[in-house]
A and B are shown apart, each in its own frame.
Chain A
Amino acid sequence: MENKRNKVYLGLYAALIALYAALSLGLPSDPKTLQKYNIAQSRVHLVSLAIVIPLVMVWSAALYGFIKFKSYSSTVSETPEGAPLRHLSTGLMILAFSLPILACVSSLSTYASWHRPDLLPTLTICKNYLNILFALAAFLQIFKGAEGLAQTSKRKISLPTSNWAIVSVLLLASLYIWLITTRAYGSSGDIAYFLPNWLVISTLAIPYLFVWCKGMASAYYLNMYRSKIRGKIYKKALGYVSQGIVTIIVLSISIQFITTLSVRLTRLRFTPLLVVVYVLVAFYAVGYGLVAQGAKKLKLIEEV
């Protein structure tokens, strides 16, 4: 059963990777850009390959980490930790699959920006809402799992309600909404969202802030659960898993933060921003790698 399920995941993921590679290497670049930088299309494809290959390796690490964690969560499905671990596993799956899906949409969006400018607003809006939907789905599952795990602990774990925590969240929210609403406008109007401010705030900014709060709460629950649980060997193995998931949560939030403010941030310089995003994406491999390592150790405890 597990093998069959893994084959489905692998098959779907391979199809998405193939689609992304085909789009990245197959779609032509903007002729104006090629002319501006005096670069041949074949050279651009070579450069794209240099980005596609590392990205595919990172995504494969994400899929591997999810599959290993899923395998462990299936092993303990009948235990009190079973249901929370299943939710965590679902959240990790959504995040892992969102990577190639969103990359494909991004490739199409880039192509549309010069080939079919009339489609750009629609594609941009779809891309933005797809991003937030994936983030919402993934983080709600991860939060449900982290909260559920914390509830299985014999020692009570609850979220901090100190004034500092509340003020920090409010400051972050205010800063983010200010940055979004005072973004630069392109010559064709709102090039970031193609939506009025009130809609951007109510349907993108606020959901993102909600997602980030859930993400931070999940990280807190996981760290507290790990610190309060008994069992030196179990704790060590769980440590890899919780560190991995916290890394993934932090990276995800950072990437979402940067990409939703990308138009504003690209006023500084384009190249460093893209490099920062790709470096952050590469660290997904670290996060999922830790999850895989921890899940393998935890599964071994259940099998020996």
Chain B
Amino acid sequence: MSASTTSLSLYDQAVNVSEEYLGPAAERFIRRQISTHLGIKPEKLNPKDLPQLVKWVSLAFALLTNNADELDEFTHSLLGLKNNRK
């Protein structure tokens, strides 16, 4: 993990991961999942919130794609952010 990546907040990293799949809509998607389902400000996202976020994100993501590999890839990438912050 590079220094430039660890200097980004967890929220920014989550957005970065999501952009690989949702492009310009990624930030809006992540903000919506965090504020609606976690009830916190998106910028306050911390590692202990990630499992809950991934659960809701995978539910929403499953509505957008039938590709199970893409879904797995996305959720693993998000969960991987938790390990990177330790």
Contact = CB atoms under 8 A, between A and B. Distances in A.
Contacts, number: 52
A231 B28 contact: no
B1 interface: no
Interface stretch (A159-167, A232-240, A248-256): A232-240
Contacts of A28: none
Interface in B9-39: 19-26, 28-29
A100 B57 CA distance: 44
Contacts of B20: 230-232
A248 B25 CA distance: 25
Nearest to B70: A232
Interface string A141-166: 00000000000100000000000000
A229 interface: yes
B60 interface: yes
Contact of B25 (A152, A232, A302): A302
B63 A300 contact: yes
A30 interface: no
Interface in A51-87: 76, 79-81
B83 interface: no
Main secondary structure of the interface of B (DSSP, over half): helix
Given A231-B23, A232-B21, A235-B23, A302 B64 contact: no
A231 B29 CA distance: 12
A304 interface: yes
A244 to B, nearest CB: 18
Main secondary structure of the interface of A (DSSP, over half): helix
Contacts of B61: 304
A233 B28 contact: no
Contacts of A235: 23
Interface in B34-86: 60-61, 63-65, 70
Contact of B23 (A76, A230, A300, A304): A230
A301 interface: yes
Contact of A304 (B24, B63, B70): B63
B23 A79 contact: no
Given A231-B24, A231-B26, A304 B19 contact: no
Interface in A124-178: 152
A297 B26 CA distance: 14
A298 B22 CA distance: 10
Contacts of B22: 231, 233-234, 301
Given A229-B24, A231-B26, A301 B64 contact: yes
Interface string A277-304: 0000000000000000000011011101
Interface of B: 19-26, 28-29, 60-61, 63-65, 70
Closest 8 CB pairs of A and B: A231-B23, A234-B23, A304-B60, A230-B23, A301-B25, A231-B22, A233-B21, A304-B63
7 contacts: A230-B20, A231-B19, A231-B25, A233-B70, A234-B21, A234-B26, A304-B29
